Amino acid sequence: MKQIWVATHRLLDTGEGGADMDFQLPPEVLSYRKRVRDIIAAHHTPEAVHHQHASGTFNNPALNRALAAEGLVERAVPGLGAGDPIELWVLFNEMEKAGAPLDALAMAVMIAGVVQHVGTPEQKAAVIPAVTAGEALICLGYSEADAGSDLSSLTTRATRDGDQWVINGAKMWTTMAHEARWVILLARTDPSLPRHRGLTMFLLPMNTPGVRVDPVHTMATERTNATFYDDVRVGDDCVLGEVNGGWQVMSVALSFERGVMGGSNPGVPLLRHSAQWAHDSGRINEPAVREKLARVAIDNHVAALLTQRSAWIAASGGMPGLEGSMTKLFASEAYQQASRWFQEMAGAEGLLQLQQPGAAADGWIEYDARHSPVTTIYGGTSEIIRNNIAERHLGLPRMRR
């Protein structure tokens, strides 16, 4: 699979001293994409959309199970599936373009890939079949109230007590914690080591005694959570990777998250809704409206190409950390800019929400205006990502100590 992808993205000699890039996907990937699209169309219904926005839980269990029943989730798990990593990208790219809720499933698949890479045989046996069946979710216990982008300063502690670890602390933005079966929890296990090196990743069931979940409702409609860990006792069987090697485990997860597993094409459904609104309202005849629609379409294509570059690097055996960061930075900020443009064009109607009479694009423009700023934060804030790109790609001096 990986060799096919590399071959189809080779530089083709034009015979005139130039070269063309072939972006055609292999036939089996095209077939996979069609199956994904058909299942999304059958299960991403108006009723499901209404439920996710009314409840704040952006997850569609029926869609997850339907994709899993066809083997489409297992094919995408990093390091496991026959289609990894190209079909990993295709799966979440198609969900994102359709406006289907993908974060819950994406997190589960991402962590299943991490478990496949660094987990014990027992952890693999417990986690991977449950995720690939579409039956179990996994949430991320990284950020804290005072340690968001700078995770090396986190204060959640895991202290050795005999043959157990005792975990105390709190996490913020633990999305899907109220429905997840497991959480991967980053905790400080050796305060005597440098900040990045004294951290350990734990994989523990959410029903472990001492774990509490409190809802946090966001401006983007989605519910996230604050989670609290009070004298939570777990054994070594819950350590994911090496003790004090949690930073490396998290780096593997972030390399999947940025640029390959979604978050790079949220502008596609925004453009679709806005273009339909422009046609229905007659605003499509205005040159300024047509220009903005064209600019957003171009940005969406650029985001897609950046995403494909990250997928190609992964398919070639690399780790698209920096390239994924570039993709995420461009796509999220282009999406935010597009949502502002369209809301300004719509005027007062662009301030009306979903289900409200007279709302521009049935309220989707207003929704995207609230949702787009969030995408510049999760997975690493734009400010932090810019620093990483400046330091690691451009060779500029560090901006922080």
Both structure tokens of 169: 């602390």
Q: Of 284, 169, 173, 193, which is closest to residue 246 (Cα–Cα)?
A: 193
- pLDDT tens for the chain, residues 1 to 401: 343 333 334 333 334 444 455 667 889 889 999 999 999 999 999 999 999 999 999 999 999 999 999 999 998 887 776 766 778 888 888 998 899 999 899 999 989 989 998 999 999 999 999 999 999 999 999 999 887 667 788 999 999 999 999 999 999 999 999 999 999 999 999 999 988 889 999 999 999 999 999 999 998 889 999 999 999 999 999 999 999 999 999 887 766 665 556 567 889 999 999 999 999 999 999 999 999 999 999 999 999 888 888 877 776 666 667 888 888 899 999 999 999 999 999 999 999 999 899 999 999 999 999 999 988 887 778 888 888 888 888 888 876 54
Strands 138-141 and 19-21: unpaired
CATH value at residue 79: 1.10.540.10
* pLDDT at residue 384 in the model: 82
Gap between the terminal Cα atoms of the chain: 43
How many domains, in total, are found in the chain?
A: 3
* pLDDT at residue 141 in the model: 95
Amino acid of residue 330: F
Tell me whether residue 176 is in a domain: yes
> pTM value?
0.85
Helix axes 267-281, 364-375, angle to 10 degrees: 160
Q: Domain check: are 182 and 207 in the same one?
A: yes
Tell me whether residue 400 is in a domain: no
SS3 233: strand
- Residue ending a domain, among 194, 222, 249, is 249
* pLDDT at residue 11 in the model: 30
- Taking the C-alpha atoms of residue 259 and residue 103, their distance in angstroms, rounded to an integer, is 14
> Residue 66 belongs to what domain range?
2-136
Q: Domain check: are 16 and 123 in the same one?
A: yes
Q: Domain check: are 11 and 123 in the same one?
A: yes
Q: Domain check: are 20 and 94 in the same one?
A: yes
Dihedral class, residue 79 (left if φ above 0, else alpha if ψ from -120 to 50, else beta): left
- The secondary element (H helix, E strand) that includes residue 167 is strand 164-171
Q: Domain check: are 165 and 276 in the same one?
A: no
Q: Domain check: are 349 and 378 in the same one?
A: yes
* pLDDT at residue 356 in the model: 93
* pLDDT at residue 24 in the model: 77
